[in-house]
Chain A
C-alpha cells in the first residue's frame, strides 16, 4: 500500500468531488449509471428527430426530458434553444450540488466546458427558417447560441462562477481534454475549483449525413439484428460492428485539490492521478496507433504507474471497424502481457457516441466504477477472433479496482488519457 502513496502535496493532488450527466439513458448521473450497470441500451429509432427525407440514418441516442420544447423547460435558457446548452447546464448543476451551502471564492472557480459542434442545431434551424420566409435575416440569438464557449458562459451566469473560462473543442476527445485543462488550472494555481466536461447535440442533416457518407456511422439495413432491435446498433469490439451511432449527452465533473476538498469537508469520489494529451500529426480523421500508444504511456508515466497497476480501461470503443481494432492493438502494446488481464469496457454500446461529450461521460463512469468496484458491461457484443481482449461483455462485473484509465481520440488527430485512483484517504 505504501508504494501507492502520492508523492504530491495536497495542493497538487486533484480529486473529483462532483459529477453530473444527461444521456439517452437518463437525465441525471444516477439514472444513467443504473442503466449502464443493468446492461440497458439507450439507442432507438426516431423518425421524428431523424425523418427519412432529411437523414440517411434513423437510429440515435436521444435525451428525453431536458431541452427546448419539453414540459417544464428551463426558463433561464428559453432564448437559447441549442440543446447542448440545456444538457450542459443541467449536468453542471448536478456536478456542483456538493458545493451547496459551502463558503468559497466564486472568483476562484473555473469553468471548462467543451463541445465539438456547439449550437449547430440552432444554426440549422435558423437557416431553414430564413430560407422558408425568403429573408436573409437569421434570428438574433443564432450567433451567441452557436458559440461553443456559450456553454461555459451560461454555467458561469447561472451558477455564479467567475473564474477562468475555456471551451476546448477537440472533436470526440473534447470532454477528456476539458478535464485535463481543468486539472492544469488547479495545479497552476489559477483556480481552487473547476467545473469541467462537455455537452453535445449535433443531430442536423449536414453533420449526420456527412458522417454517414464517410462510412463512419452504422447504417442499419433490413436483416441486421439492429433493424428490429435498434438498441443493438452500436456494438463496440464486436465481430459485426459496423460504425458508430450518434447520440447526444452532457457530462460535467467538479474537480478541486485534495487540500481544498479537505478544507470544505467534501466527499472525494476518486483521485485523478495522471493525464496526458498528444497529437497524431498523421491524418485528418484516421486514428494513429503509435501516437495513441504514446498518449497512454504518457498518462501512466504522469501517474507514476507501471502498466500492470491498471485494473480497468474505459475505452474510446466507438464500434467502428478501424477504431476498435486500432485501440485493441494499442492496448496490447501498452499493457503487454497484462493486456489480457485488463477489464475493458465501452459504454458506447449503450449510449452511442455523443462526440465531444462522450469522454466526459466515460470519465464519470470510470470514477463511479472505482467507487463501487463495479465495471459496467460492453453490450451487444459478439466475439471477434481478431480482437481477443476481455471486453466485459453483457453483464456488470464486480471487482477490486485500484486504478483505472479512460482514453479518447478525436478527428484532427488529438488524444487524451486519464488515470483515476479509487479514493483511499492516505
Chain B
C-alpha cells in the first residue's frame, strides 16, 4: 500500500487544469461544475495524475469520473492510500 498526501493530488489537479488559487479542491469537488474543468482539461488532469503516480486508468473508468473523490477511489483500488486532507 503506497500512501500519498491528498494535497499532492490536489496540487497536480490544480496545476494541470490551471485552477485558480481561490477555488478550493476537495473530494466532493465536481470537475466540471465546481472546478470549471472542461472535457479537454480533464484529459490533461488525468494524464498528469497517471504520470505522477504511475498507473493507468481504463477508458471506461475515465468516462465515469465526475468528481475528485472518484479519482481517489480508483487510486485506492490500485493500492494507493490517500492521506486525510
Q: Which residues of A contact B (CB under 8 A)?
A: 75, 78-79, 133, 135, 137, 139-141, 144
Collect the chain A residues with CB atoms within 8 Å of residue B17's CB.
79
Collect the chain A residues with CB atoms within 8 Å of residue B20's CB.
75
Collect the chain A residues with CB atoms within 8 Å of residue B61's CB.
none
Residues of chain B at interface, number, CB under 8 A: 9
Report whether A140 and B40 are in contact in the complex, using a CB–CB cutoff of 8 Å. yes
Collect the chain B residues with CB atoms within 8 Å of residue A133's CB.
51
* Residue B47 CB within 8 A of the other chain: yes
Report whether B51 and A141 are in contact in the complex, using a CB–CB cutoff of 8 Å. no
* Residue B44 CB within 8 A of the other chain: yes
Report whether A139 and B47 are in contact in the complex, using a CB–CB cutoff of 8 Å. yes
Collect the chain B residues with CB atoms within 8 Å of residue A139's CB.
44, 47
Report whether B47 and A137 are in contact in the complex, using a CB–CB cutoff of 8 Å. yes
Report whether A140 and B44 are in contact in the complex, using a CB–CB cutoff of 8 Å. yes
Q: How far is it, in angstroms, between the C-alpha of A141 and the C-alpha of B51 when the chains are bound? A: 17
Our pick among B18, B41, B51 for the contact of A140 (Cβ within 8 Å) is B41
Report whether B41 and A79 are in contact in the complex, using a CB–CB cutoff of 8 Å. yes
Closest to A143 in B: B40
Q: How far is it, in angstroms, between the C-alpha of A141 and the C-alpha of B47 when the chains are bound? A: 12
Closest to A77 in B: B18
Report whether B41 and A135 are in contact in the complex, using a CB–CB cutoff of 8 Å. no
Q: How far is it, in angstroms, between the C-alpha of A75 and the C-alpha of B17 when the chains are bound? A: 12
Q: How far is it, in angstroms, between the C-alpha of A75 and the C-alpha of B22 when the chains are bound? A: 14
* Residue B43 CB within 8 A of the other chain: yes
Collect the chain B residues with CB atoms within 8 Å of residue A137's CB.
47
Collect the chain A residues with CB atoms within 8 Å of residue B44's CB.
139-141
Collect the chain A residues with CB atoms within 8 Å of residue B41's CB.
79, 140
Report whether A135 and B43 are in contact in the complex, using a CB–CB cutoff of 8 Å. no
Q: How far is it, in angstroms, between the C-alpha of A139 and the C-alpha of B44 when the chains are bound? A: 6
Report whether A79 and B47 are in contact in the complex, using a CB–CB cutoff of 8 Å. no
Report whether B18 and A79 are in contact in the complex, using a CB–CB cutoff of 8 Å. yes
- List 8 A-B pairs, minimum CB-CB distance, nearest first: A78-B18, A140-B43, A140-B44, A140-B40, A133-B51, A79-B18, A139-B44, A137-B47
Report whether A135 and B40 are in contact in the complex, using a CB–CB cutoff of 8 Å. no
